[in-house]
Amino acid sequence: MVERARGMSMTGVIMVMVATFSLPVGAALATSLFHYGGAWGVSALRLGLASVMLLLLVRPTPWRWTGAAWRNVALFGISLAGMNGFFYAAIERIPLGVTVAIQFVGPLALAVILSTNRRDLIWIGAAGLGLILLGLESMTGSVGFDLVGILFAALAGVSWVLYILFSARVGRSLPGLQGLPVAALIAAIVLLPVGFSGVVELVFTPEIYWLMLTVAFISTVVPTSLELAALRRLPRHTFSILLSLEPVFAALIGWVLLDQSFGILRGLAMMLIIGATLGMTASAARLSTEVVDERRARELGG
């Protein structure tokens, strides 16, 4: 039984690592499509293609959903549109690793807000310091970050917070991945007005069809499926800590595939943000363990 549990945990770890690796790889591949359809067009078409793949894979039954379930899925889809659209708009202007690091501040801030432990303010302070260092690097003129790109990355982080909140609602009202294909379709429809011209350009460029399908598969279908499977095998805090690998992978992939080198200030800034995420998730795990131990003690004492 112990060996089986260890095997399941190791499988879960590998699943999360593959998921966190596939997301920035998909984003790096997507940048080569911006020339044809722009960030918004690529994002809209990618979500549309991913929704078709997920519809075939999951086969949801939306005609059986309640009004409340439909409302939750619609809000989930809108947050998905913001998270993906702003993320692609950001990586069109600023390095991939920096975008992912800034985006991570959103879920981190949510965790701090929901936390009752004042020490967790240290972690949001570390993340804030990381953002300040990114600003200092930009002001030196050695990189010249686009402020609009930084704003888009921040908005992607805000959308990620909404994504977390609404996905939890969808998870409570619908089983498995039932809501995801419809949410992805709604997200594509939300982005279509701003990305319409880009989508048309992509549709009439047959030579990039294979790449567009690859991006949709790698960026949505693979990580979503693996993360869902991993959550059944790993404790929540372990899963959250492993997600912190995404900014690291993003920086490495940006360096290898996109030639986005980074200096001392940016490296330190990203380490601060990643460290803040690790610290916050470890703190939450420790607090959860303390609560469980206290509950057990009360039960034994009673």
pLDDT (tens digit per residue) in 253-271: 877 777 666 667 767 877 7
What distance in Å separates the CA atoms of residue 23 and residue 217, rounded to the nearest whole number? 10
For the chain, give the percent of residues with pLDDT over 70: 72
Tokens standing for residue 129: 């310091």
Question: C-alpha distances in angstroms, 262 versus 38, 62, 90, 223?
Answer: 25, 46, 17, 26
Q: What is the mean pLDDT of residues 187-191?
A: 95
Q: What is the mean pLDDT of residues 206-214?
A: 91
- 183 has a pLDDT exceeding 60: yes
Summarize pLDDT for 157-167 with one digit per residue, the tens.
Answer: 888 888 877 87
Give the pLDDT score at 280.
64
Mean pLDDT of the chain: 78
Residues in the chain: 302
- Tally of CB atoms within 10 A around 47: 29
The CA R_g of the chain, rounded to the nearest whole Å, is 20
Give the pLDDT score at 88.
93
Give the pLDDT score at 301.
46
Summarize pLDDT for 83-132 with one digit per residue, the tens.
Answer: 999 999 999 988 887 787 788 777 666 666 666 666 667 777 777 777 67
Give the pLDDT score at 202.
93
Task: Give residue 43's Cα distance to chain centre.
Answer: 14
Q: What is the DSSP string of 131-145?
A: HHHHHHHHHHTSS--
Task: Give residue 93's Cα distance to chain centre.
Answer: 18
Between these two residues, 289 and 152, which has the higher pLDDT value?
152
- 201 has a pLDDT exceeding 80: yes
What distance in Å separates the CA atoms of residue 14 and residue 149, rounded to the nearest whole number? 32
Residue 292: pLDDT band (50, 70, 90) is: very low
The three-state secondary structure class of 92 is coil
What distance in Å separates the CA atoms of residue 136 and residue 130, rounded to the nearest whole number? 10
- 2 has a pLDDT exceeding 50: no
Question: C-alpha distances in angstroms, 208 versus 35, 203, 212, 215, 244?
Answer: 11, 9, 6, 11, 32
Provide the 8-state DSSP code for 93.
T
For the chain, give the percent of residues with pLDDT over 90: 24
pTM of this prediction?
Answer: 0.77
